[in-house]
Amino acid sequence: MKKVYRLNNLDCANCAAKMERGVCKIDGVKSASVNFMAQKLTVEAEDNDFERVMDEVVKVCRRVEPDCTIAR
């Protein structure tokens, strides 16, 4: 399953790159990309494991950019 999410309050292109690297390291993520200009996060993971993966994605994004939220 591949989903695209809107990122709110992502202020830094470097932080976007750190988020992308962190999300790609999560077990179960097939691919991930963060587009700073479009303020979008794309995540691809297995259907049956997607909720757990997204919980981890939220944690990674908060650690890198505490003010950034993912519109789910």
CATH of domain 2-71: 3.30.70.100
CA distances from 17 to 3, 8, 49 (A): 18, 16, 24
pLDDT tens digits, 24-46: 999 999 999 999 999 999 999 99
Per DSSP, 68 falls in state: -
| Res. 15: pLDDT tops 90 | yes
pLDDT tens, position by position, 43-60: 999 999 999 999 999 999
At residue 65, the pLDDT reads: 94
pLDDT-based confidence at residue 66 (cuts at 50, 70, 90): very high
> Tell me, what's the pLDDT at 24?
97
45 to each of 4, 9, 57, 61, how far by Cα in Å? 12, 24, 11, 17
Q: Which of 38, 43, 65 is nearest to 55 (CA)?
A: 43
Distance CA 31, CA 12 (A): 21
State residue 72's pLDDT score: 81
